[in-house]
Structure 1
Amino acid sequence: DKKFGVNQPKRLENANILVANTAMDTDKVKIFGARVKVDSTGKLAELEKAEREKMKQKVERIKAHGINCFVNRQLIYNWPEQLFSDAGICSIEHADFDGVERLALVTGAEITSTFDHPELVKLGHCDLIEEVIIGEDTLIRFSGVAAGKACTVVLRGATEQLLDEAERSLHDALAVLSQTVKFPKTTLGGGCAEMVMAKAVDQAAQNVAGKKAIAVDSFAKALRQLPTILADNAGLDSAELVSRLKNAVYSGMTNSGLDLLKPGGGITDMRELGVVEAYKLKHAVVSSASEAAELLLRVDNIIRAAPRRRERM
């Protein structure tokens, strides 16, 4: 929940951004190895005036960078916030550490803590900074950042469980998408790839005799379970749909898959529908499942260990 400072505009175009991690609450007059004692309110006022003057000088050094937006990881108290407002600089306080790191990355800025050499500080830039309200939360959105391709996804839900599930699903989808970008090879989705593999396994089973044929046939049935699970999760008649899909693929229509968006479900050409899956992910799933099944089949005996007994000293 972030906002601009008091009496500052809620929208800023062509922003030059200084991202900092510095104390803007108060600038104490530091006297090491000594204590300051006052015997009157006048002297206390002089001490406070000296501290305010130090903070004003710090703000002047920040203004010398030629910015119109100041983002600080720490708090910004009323006095420096007023100075920024008078200078026409928007200030954003208490940005969390992860947020500051990401903001510096996408805007092209560097996080700084000292302001004595403006020529050495790298500023960030973006086309638009504005306050937006989503539900009951006030957010600050940076648009047109220097990185060009950065974006933020806002997840909202009624409960923490729904949010956690949405976050996991989004993370999985982004992981699959990133792998697809790195390895652009894809397969057809909607159960098409599994049914085509099952067809190939069934054809290979015709040349296998004995108990091995049973294992090969079981592997084909396991592959056909994936489109069955897809139909069940969509609340459709899996037996009917998978039977129709098997008939279509085994008849030579190898691009056929389950169209779960059609009322009651249907069999459609997945290439025309644009339903694809990452080849690397599909290869990893089938390989891992096959290796796990092979590992279990290799178990030919179970050794039961006797319970551990404690020996009395």
Structure 2
Amino acid sequence: MSSAQMPIILLRDGTENRQGKGQVINNINACVSVSDYVRTTLGPRGMDKLVVDRKDKTTISNDGATIMNMLDIVYPAAKIMTDIAKNQDNDVGDGTTSVVILAAEFLKQAKQFVEDGVSPQLVISAYYHASEEAIRKLDELATKIPEHGLRDMLIKCAATTLSSKLVAQDRQYFAELVVDAVNNVDDDLPVSMIGVKKISGGSVTESHLVKGVAFKKAFSYAGFEMQPKHYKDVSIALLNIELELKAEKDNGELRVNNVSDFEEIVNAEWNILYNKLEKIHASGVKIVLSKLPIGDVATQWFADRDMFCAGRIPEADLKRTQMSCGGQILTTVSKIESTALGKCDEFYEKQLGNERFNYFIGGAKAQSCTIILRGGAEQFIAESERALHDAIMVVRRAKKNDTVLAGGGAIEMELSHHIREKAKNITTKEQFFWKAYGKAFEIIPQQLCINAGIDAVDILNQLRNRHLKGEKHAGVDIFRECVRDNLEGCIWEPAAVKRNAINAATEAACVVLSVDQTITNQPKKNEMPGLPSKH
């Protein structure tokens, strides 16, 4: 009797295991489907998406990274698309939609080879080599920004970014606002030093830049209205100290035998507070800001001495005030050195919409600024803030790298043409993969035309013809609905944005192609997902 072989069970019952060529194709299809969610948001005439989350909060946006973050994607391989959109947003701020569309198109072009039985590793190898050639060509096409025209160049880069946003009609106004904000802050400082305050009401063109710090009037106690609301050339104390009477019965227990002992305890509590206030006043400061509460006793005490105070200031605003006015955030007032105090050229309080705002205009070395953003609907202001964030990141990146490229699909068409020409010199079957990689770049100008309602076939034929003749900067002008030299037309993008997009899209495509098996572990019965099992 022959002994039958017993099956070897490796994975727990219920584990999903999908593998082979079919799995690679499924992953490609999933990634292409994800890109369809953001495809129509590309370009100056891209549409917006209205996303409603689980708490019924509505977000209207055409920012690729924002939309990708809000999509609750469950398909494992497709989550890579969200990661590259985040990476693009964190690194350069713009081009988040482009990178997702480009990665999906690289995969779409590779799909035909996988279906024909070609090993994905051959496609991956060819894609990496082709991307290196594309980056080399991109660097060759990049135009350096001249020092004397730096501000104008940066404004044009910001305007190109804002042309596809909700504030596109006022892009010139906001481009100048963004460039002034970035120039006001040191290049090495974090982007958080440019604060954005959103205030409902008023026209969007009432938005303005404060070369210092502005924040909403903090919670204040009685006596606040008696304080002066305007100073010039004064010292500021930034504190992380509570200036409030504490009920000691909550912190400990005391047994007293007579009234005088009780009176002594109460007086000691008051004396501790008054000593702190006296030391702050003796230092010569006129403005006192604290991260912790400043009580009604302290508020009135300061008001009697013509001093301004505000407690419960958010940490981010306090940090920006420090960067704008100098000084240190103090944790004790036992000995206040003059070097630890900030200097403010001007302080005033102003009504904006329904809120009152405190303005601190820093000195010549101010390293922080605030953009006051006005507008109608809350969703509009939120989307305007996202648009300004993209523009700020682009301008900062352009300042550091100081090279720009023609936008409007011009660089993509030139890279497509260049890669295909290079492919003709390859004698192996890798030539087909290079041609597919080059063809994928055409998706950007094609999608720009589709979103604008222009005949994409006609425009693409014109673009191919112009690039064949050696017109390297020929791209789509969406507003004129024609093909033109976009470098002359001032449709510019920083080279860093495109370089990062090509690298990220190629890597994402190669990662998806290299996955041929997906194993999904199912939780045991009576075991909640994500919780350790009980043994």
Q: Aligned match of 2:501 in 245, 260, 285?
A: 285
Q: Which has the higher contact order (CA 8 A, sep 6+)?
A: 2
1: distance between equivalents of 2:313 and 2:487?
A: 46
Root-mean-square deviation over aligned CA pairs: 3.8
- Stretches of structure 2 lacking an aligned partner (at least 5 in a row): 1-215, 525-535
Cα shift at 1:90: 1.3
Cα deviations across residues 263-304 of structure 1 (Å, max 9, x unaligned)?
x523333223333222233122212323444455567xx568
Q: Which residue number in structure 2 is paired with residue 13 of structure 1? A: 232
Contact 2:328 2:341 (8 Å CA) reproduced: yes
Letter in 1 for 2:495: Y
Letter in 2 for 1:19: L
Shift of the alpha carbon at 1:173?
A: 3.7
Residue number in structure 2 paired with 1:2: 217
Task: For residues 215-254 of structure 1, give each alpha carbon's deviation from its aligned partner in whole angstroms, at most 9, with x where no partner exists.
Answer: 3332222111112223344454444433333333332222
**What is the CA-CA distance between 1:107 and the residue it aligns to?**
1.6
Q: C-alpha displacement at 1:307, in angstroms?
A: 9.5
Larger radius of gyration: 1
Structure 1 contact 125–146 (Cα < 8 Å) conserved: no
Q: Indicate whether 1:249 and 2:467 are aligned.
A: yes
Q: Is the 8 A contact 1:259 1:265 kept in 2?
A: yes
Worse-matched range after superposition: 141-150 or 44-53: 44-53
Alignment of 1:1-313 (within 5 A): 1-3=216-218, 5-26=224-245, 34-36=254-256, 51-119=269-337, 122-145=340-363, 147-155=365-373, 165-208=383-426, 211-260=429-478, 262=479, 264-294=480-510, 302=516
Task: Assess, with a 3 A threshold, how the Cα gap between structure 1 residues 6 and 104 changes in structure 2: closer, same or farther.
Answer: same
One-letter amino acid of the counterpart of residue 10, structure 1: K
AA partner of residue 7 (structure 1):
M
Shift of 1:152: 1.9
- 1:278 partner amino acid: P
Do the aligned residues in 1 keep the contact of 2:324 with 2:362 (CA within 8 Å)?
A: no
Residues of 1 paired with 2:339 and 2:252: CA distance?
A: 30
1:111-135 CA-to-partner distances (Å, cap 9, x unmatched) read 1132222336511112222223333
Distance 2:265 2:519 in 1: 78
**Alpha-carbon distance change, 89 to 268 in structure 1, aligned in 2, over 3 angstroms:** farther
Query: What is the rounded CA distance, in whole Å, between the counterparts of 2:261 and 2:519 in structure 1?
Result: 83
Write out per-residue CA displacement over residues 127-153 of structure 1, whole angstroms, 9 at most, x where no aligned residue: 222223333232222223454342123
The number of residue pairs the alignment matches comes to: 305
Distance 1:97 1:293, change over 3 A: closer
CA distance in 1, matches of 2:454, 2:379: 26
- Residue 37 of structure 1 deviates from its aligned partner by 6.7
Q: Distance in 2 between matches of 1:307 and 1:45?
A: 69
Shifted more, 27-36 versus 168-177: the winner is 27-36
Q: Distance in 1 between matches of 2:386 and 2:262?
A: 56
Query: What amino acid maps onto 2:244 in structure 1?
Result: D
Letter in 2 for 1:9: P
1:12–1:130: 8 Å Cα contact kept in structure 2? yes
Contact 1:29–1:50 at 8 Å: present in 2 too? no
Listed one character per residue, the Cα deviations across residues 159-208 of structure 1 (whole Å, up to 9, x for unaligned) are 77666655554444433333333322332222111111111123223334
TM-score by length of 2: 0.49
Assess, with a 3 A threshold, how the Cα gap between structure 1 residues 296 and 43 changes in structure 2: closer, same or farther: closer
- Partners of 1:107 and 1:146 within 8 A in 2: no
Give SS of 2:476's match. Answer: strand
Q: Secondary structure at the match of 2:234?
A: strand
* Greater mean deviation of Cα atoms: 130-139 or 208-217: 208-217
Q: Distance in 2 between matches of 1:16 and 1:206?
A: 70
Task: Encode CA deviations 1:19-74: one digit per residue, 9 max, x unaligned.
Answer: 011121216689987334766xx997886566445433322210111111111112
Confirm or deny: 8 A CA contact 2:410 2:474 kept in the other structure: yes
TM-score w.r.t. length of structure 1: 0.79
- Tell me which moved more, 145-154 or 155-164: 155-164
